[in-house]
A and B are shown apart, each in its own frame.
Chain A
Amino acid sequence: MNSLPLTPQVFHILVALADRDQHGYSIMQDVAERTGGNMRLSPGTLYGSIKRMLEEGLVVELRAKDRPRVEPDDERRRYYRLTPLGRKAARAEAARLSEMLEQARVYGLAPKRS
């Protein structure tokens, strides 16, 4: 893995895919929802990131038979799934972030754990 620390976009995409396979638009909505609208992935950024994540093996594109069954489904949509490597990367990044947060707390830069 050569991409740690992950860019915020990649990290958010990994998180979005952590519990279910999703297509581009739902990843975008998921991220927007979780960040309270702060991070809105536009098409170029989203698919640019996905392309690199595919190349690095963090996600895979699902074949037709593996697609989740949803109604109504649009056949043109492509679904993505987290790979074990992607999961590992997300974990490592989360650990890195929480370590940083911990340090910030020590110096009073972040609110104490409630």
Chain B
Amino acid sequence: MAWRRNAVRLYRALLYAYPAEFRHEYGSQMQQLFEDRLHSEPWLRVGLDTLADVAFSAPREHVHILAADLVYGARLIRKSPAFTLVAWFTMALGIGATCGVFSLINAVLIRSLPYVGPERLVYIWMPNPRFKEIPQEMAPFSVDFYAWQASQHSFSELTMFHQQRFRAVDSETVQRVGGAAVAGNFFHTLGAKPELGRGIEPADDQPGHQHVVVISDALWHSHFAGAAGVLGQTLLLNRESYAIVGVMPREFRYPHSADFPYSDGDISATECWIPAALTQQQKTEAMGSDGVTIGRLKPGVSLKQAQAEMTALEARLDPVIHPAPWGGWVALVRPFIDTAVGPVRPLLRLLLGAVSLVLLIACSNVANLLLARSAGRVHEMGLRTALGAERPRLVRQMLTEALLLAWGGGALGVLIAYAGLRLVLRVHPGDIPRLDEASLDVRVLLFTAGISLITGLGFGLLPALAASRVDLTTLLKQGGNKGVAGTSNRLRNGLIVTQVALSVILLAGAGLLIRSYLKVQSVDTGFAPSTVTVNLTLDERYATPQKLKDYFRNLLGQVDQLPGVVSAGVVSALPLSHRESISTVEIKGRTVKKDETVDDRMATTSYFQSMGIRLLEGRFFVDQELPGRAPEMLVSQSFAHLYFPSESVIGRQFQAGNQWRTIVGVVADVHHTSLEESPRPTVYSPFLQIPDSHAFLTVRTASSPERLISSISKIVHSIDPTISPERTATMRQLISEATSQRRFQTVALSVFAAVAVFLALVGLYGLMAYAVKQRTAEIGIRIALGAPAARVLGMVLWKGLALVSMGLAIGLSGAAAVTSLGAAWLFGVSSTDPVTFLLVPVLILAVALVACLIPAWKATRIDPVTALHYD
């Protein structure tokens, strides 16, 4: 009957769920049994029974084979511990590096943020296209924000905050904590829920009701020992008391220093949130307060639509709120997550690319080891084939062995990744958001297990296919010893060439980064690295210029008296401190392009001396305001070059702070934002004439900076106990921080390159040692026939170096292609830097020579008599 034939055909197809070995042995029996049952039992019962049977027994047969193969593999591991250790260690390096990099990517890019639907969150910035030098990420003015909030339709919520540094006063200690003054809907917009109590609510965001605070989990533990009764207790912030109403969960510390550009670099993570509680005047003042603005897109509204609405809205508002000449502001909508992680994506891609190469090299290394071993197992494979084992069965067996090696390596790799991660967190790799949260979580472990599986199959497949291709006739003719040697030798040589090529690419990349790093390090910063700096912020009690002047004069006077102090000065914005200030350019008798800006600083004369900034022309200005004398100022060298390329700038008049000032001198350029950007034209006005409540004390000392720092802190405390230095650092520390990301990427890539070269050389050594062993008889005959040791040595060396040279040629052309893609990573060197591209082959050849020398030397020691008995 037709249905019965079809049922049997279906059953035959189902039999493919069983291992081939089992199917071949029992398939026809099982089919017959199935047919017998179809004849004698109701078809529905047979069908259901059979489906259940296949679902249950087919996996069981696979598990049985796997168990047998694992036992066999384990026996092999026990039999050759050296082989296993080398393979495990090799894979551990490859998988460990991959696992470590993945855990960074996991922490920064994948792991979910402690907000609801972060992909719907956006920042709204308010740049002014008239000023090209001003960054795009300008916080909107409060007046614009409240106007948007009243009439926009794209966002379900729109909130704002500004970062604020507090002095949190305990019973005895004063601690600086980073905080944020937030609008009433801040937590609601982010969708962040407190772990204790409540968040800041709209009712708190009113003048007079603002004395409540939500604290971070970290502050809860450091100040209140994690006590459950913390709610309702009082926290003293900047001498005002706030009632604690909530505690945020451990992972919520928004904003971090790296969450958005130009965030307060001194606030690494936020510890407390208070209501902004702006007054009506603050909300409506045209150029008054500002704050970082976050919106949550309504469902169905795209970023583009929101941008279109905000552009139109601000175009309407701008002329009303900001009449000429202060207008020209626009609204810029940017994705929230991308703002934080966008800048570090290239770095993570670089690391991922580098570890992929390392992993490939590790895999090909182990594949090579397996090939060498499988050449020695020809006899075993031949025997098993003769006993009826089929090729798929042999391949499966060898893949299981490869997986044992991969998983062993993976387990060791996790340990390596753990150690590596601890090291990475210690070196502080620059502004990478949430990197400190990187850990080996379940996702990382699953990833590692998956990578181990894939790599195991990857490096196991070629050797398994090569070894299982047994030609019994040839095998018997050759006495069972050679079999697959020819094919597998070609394969092994190919793998070594690949390894060398890949490590050359990595090494060239690392070389270029190292050269770039050295160039950055040798940049003339324009200032002395040993200068000690102290960041000070005075509060509202110092609201008048006179009070500020008195404070700083008093401070400078006392610091000058400290033993060892050479010079002490004050500046409004210190290089590499992330503080910026710019001014439009107006030079008397000179028309400059409209809206052009220069960097604008206030400094004392002693600032230049304490920082070691050289005077190139003219003289320093006079600090004091002198009656009857025109106010004075200094300009930087690049300012002079830009505006007065062929004449002297001295005596020219520049308008700064609504006042015409005479340029009396030119000072050397300093790198302000970073060491890698060329210095911007800068003007300096006397600090003591236009003082600022935020300033940096700069001190040059002949003695140790550490001792000096504690003496300065004492002086600051003695002048006003409620003011404490926000941060003290030497310029060397600031330089180190400014170059930390470059240092991190250079070190990481160099480590990966070193691992790659090491693995390639281990592989090369293994190959050469094996080749010499394989040719023992031949070399023995040559020696017996009188070949001198030098010729034997040369023969082996030549073979090794020929392979390396091929790898070098391929690798160098690959490196030239790859590095040209990464030109953005380089500083001061071209992507085909001749020094790097010369040094890499020299280094590779030198170490390759070492790797080949030992097997070559061993070849010369072969005893002809033993060798002839060898085969």
- B33, A43: Cβ atoms closer than 8 Å: yes
- B58, A44: Cβ atoms closer than 8 Å: yes
- B32, A40: Cβ atoms closer than 8 Å: no
Indicate which residue in B18, B28, B33, B56 contacts A46 across the interface (CB closer than 8 Å): B33
Tell me which residues across on chain B come within 8 A of A47, comparing CB atoms: 22, 26, 29-30
- A43, B34: Cβ atoms closer than 8 Å: yes
- The smallest beta-carbon distance between A16 and chain B, in angstroms, is 14
Residue of A nearest to B21 (CB): A51
- B32, A25: Cβ atoms closer than 8 Å: yes
Indicate which residue in A25, A44, A46 contacts B54 across the interface (CB closer than 8 Å): A44
A16-33: contact bitstring with B at CB < 8 Å (1 yes, 0 no)?
000000001100100000
Contact of A45 with B by CB under 8 A: yes
Among the 9-residue stretches B45-53, B293-301, B420-428, the one with 4 or more Cβ atoms under 8 Å from chain A is B45-53
Bound complex: CA A7 to CA B83 (Å): 40
Indicate which residue in B33, B49, B56 contacts A24 across the interface (CB closer than 8 Å): B33
Contact of B57 with A by CB under 8 A: yes
Contact of A34 with B by CB under 8 A: no
Residue of A nearest to B26 (CB): A47
Tell me which residues across on chain B come within 8 A of A51, comparing CB atoms: 22, 25-26, 61
Tell me which residues across on chain A come within 8 A of B37, comparing CB atoms: 25, 28
Contact of A77 with B by CB under 8 A: yes
- A77, B60: Cβ atoms closer than 8 Å: no
- B50, A76: Cβ atoms closer than 8 Å: no
Bound complex: CA A47 to CA B64 (Å): 13
- The smallest beta-carbon distance between A98 and chain B, in angstroms, is 29
Bound complex: CA A50 to CA B57 (Å): 12
Tell me which residues across on chain A come within 8 A of B26, comparing CB atoms: 43, 47, 50-51
Bound complex: CA A50 to CA B61 (Å): 12
A70-95: contact bitstring with B at CB < 8 Å (1 yes, 0 no)?
00001011100000000000000000
Tell me which residues across on chain B come within 8 A of A52, comparing CB atoms: 64
- Candidate in B33, B36, B58 with the most chain A CB atoms within 10 angstroms: B33
Contact of A57 with B by CB under 8 A: no
Residue of A nearest to B58 (CB): A44
Q: If A24-B33, A48-B60 touch, does A42 touch B28 (CB 8 Å cutoff)? A: no
Tell me which residues across on chain B come within 8 A of A40, comparing CB atoms: 49
Residue of A nearest to B45 (CB): A40
Tell me which residues across on chain B come within 8 A of A78, comparing CB atoms: 29
- The smallest beta-carbon distance between A106 and chain B, in angstroms, is 36
- B57, A42: Cβ atoms closer than 8 Å: yes
Residue of A nearest to B57 (CB): A44
- The smallest beta-carbon distance between B31 and chain A, in angstroms, is 8
Tell me which residues across on chain B come within 8 A of A45, comparing CB atoms: 53, 56-57
Interface residues of B in 1-47 (CB under 8 A from A): 18, 22, 25-26, 28-34, 36-37
Residue of B nearest to A74 (CB): B32
A32-68: contact bitstring with B at CB < 8 Å (1 yes, 0 no)?
0000000010111111101110000000000000000
- The smallest beta-carbon distance between A59 and chain B, in angstroms, is 14
- A44, B18: Cβ atoms closer than 8 Å: yes
- A77, B32: Cβ atoms closer than 8 Å: yes
Q: If A51-B25, A52-B64 touch, does A42 touch B32 (CB 8 Å cutoff)? A: no
Bound complex: CA A16 to CA B735 (Å): 86
Residue of A nearest to B18 (CB): A44
- The smallest beta-carbon distance between A17 and chain B, in angstroms, is 16
Bound complex: CA A104 to CA B52 (Å): 33
Q: If A25-B36, A51-B22 touch, does A44 touch B56 (CB 8 Å cutoff)? A: yes
- A25, B33: Cβ atoms closer than 8 Å: yes
- A42, B50: Cβ atoms closer than 8 Å: yes
- A28, B49: Cβ atoms closer than 8 Å: no
- The smallest beta-carbon distance between B763 and chain A, in angstroms, is 40
- Candidate in A45, A47, A50, A52 with the most chain B CB atoms within 10 angstroms: A47
Indicate which residue in A24, A25, A43, A76 contacts B53 across the interface (CB closer than 8 Å): A43
- The smallest beta-carbon distance between B287 and chain A, in angstroms, is 82
Residue of B nearest to A25 (CB): B36
Bound complex: CA A24 to CA B37 (Å): 12
- The smallest beta-carbon distance between A97 and chain B, in angstroms, is 24
Tell me which residues across on chain B come within 8 A of A24, comparing CB atoms: 29, 32-33
- B56, A43: Cβ atoms closer than 8 Å: no
Residue of A nearest to B60 (CB): A48
Bound complex: CA A46 to CA B22 (Å): 12
- The smallest beta-carbon distance between B457 and chain A, in angstroms, is 26
Tell me which residues across on chain A come within 8 A of B32, comparing CB atoms: 24-25, 74, 76-77
Bound complex: CA A44 to CA B60 (Å): 10
Bound complex: CA A8 to CA B555 (Å): 93
Bound complex: CA A25 to CA B28 (Å): 12
Residue of B nearest to A45 (CB): B57
Bound complex: CA A51 to CA B61 (Å): 10
Residue of B nearest to A46 (CB): B33
Tell me which residues across on chain B come within 8 A of A44, comparing CB atoms: 18, 30, 53-54, 56-58, 61
Residue of A nearest to B50 (CB): A42
Residue of A nearest to B31 (CB): A43
Residue of B nearest to A48 (CB): B57
- A43, B64: Cβ atoms closer than 8 Å: no
Indicate which residue in A48, A74, A77 contacts B61 across the interface (CB closer than 8 Å): A48
- The smallest beta-carbon distance between A51 and chain B, in angstroms, is 7
- A42, B29: Cβ atoms closer than 8 Å: no
Residue of A nearest to B53 (CB): A42
Tell me which residues across on chain A come within 8 A of B33, comparing CB atoms: 24-25, 28, 43, 46
Bound complex: CA A76 to CA B60 (Å): 26
Bound complex: CA A41 to CA B25 (Å): 18
Bound complex: CA A28 to CA B30 (Å): 12
Tell me which residues across on chain A come within 8 A of B25, comparing CB atoms: 51
B613-652: contact bitstring with A at CB < 8 Å (1 yes, 0 no)?
0000000000000000000000000000000000000000
Tell me which residues across on chain B come within 8 A of A76, comparing CB atoms: 28-29, 32
- B61, A42: Cβ atoms closer than 8 Å: no
Bound complex: CA A24 to CA B32 (Å): 9
- Candidate in A44, A52, A77 with the most chain B CB atoms within 10 angstroms: A44
Bound complex: CA A40 to CA B36 (Å): 13
Residue of A nearest to B52 (CB): A42
Tell me which residues across on chain A come within 8 A of B49, comparing CB atoms: 40, 42
Residue of A nearest to B55 (CB): A44
- The smallest beta-carbon distance between B63 and chain A, in angstroms, is 11
Tell me which residues across on chain A come within 8 A of B54, comparing CB atoms: 44
Residue of B nearest to A47 (CB): B26
Residue of A nearest to B29 (CB): A24
Bound complex: CA A43 to CA B49 (Å): 10
Bound complex: CA A76 to CA B34 (Å): 14
Residue of A nearest to B41 (CB): A40
Tell me which residues across on chain B come within 8 A of A42, comparing CB atoms: 49-50, 52-53, 57
Bound complex: CA A28 to CA B46 (Å): 13
Bound complex: CA A77 to CA B28 (Å): 9
Bound complex: CA A44 to CA B64 (Å): 13
Residue of B nearest to A54 (CB): B25
Residue of A nearest to B14 (CB): A44
Bound complex: CA A45 to CA B32 (Å): 15
Bound complex: CA A55 to CA B414 (Å): 39
B441-452: contact bitstring with A at CB < 8 Å (1 yes, 0 no)?
000000000000
Bound complex: CA A60 to CA B32 (Å): 20
Bound complex: CA A98 to CA B699 (Å): 96
- The smallest beta-carbon distance between A25 and chain B, in angstroms, is 5
Residue of B nearest to A49 (CB): B57
- The smallest beta-carbon distance between A71 and chain B, in angstroms, is 17
Q: A45-B53, A45-B56, A47-B22 are in contact. List 7 more A-B contacts (CB 8 A).
A: A28-B37, A42-B50, A42-B57, A43-B31, A48-B60, A51-B26, A77-B32
What are 21 A-B contacts with C-beta separation under 8 Å? A24-B29, A24-B32, A25-B36, A25-B37, A40-B49, A42-B49, A43-B30, A43-B34, A44-B57, A46-B30, A46-B33, A47-B29, A47-B30, A48-B57, A48-B60, A48-B61, A48-B64, A51-B22, A51-B26, A52-B64, A76-B32
B: which residues have CB within 8 A of A? Answer: 18, 22, 25-26, 28-34, 36-37, 49-50, 52-54, 56-58, 60-61, 64
The 10 closest A-B pairs by CB, nearest first: A44-B57, A42-B53, A43-B30, A47-B26, A44-B53, A25-B36, A43-B33, A48-B57, A45-B57, A25-B33
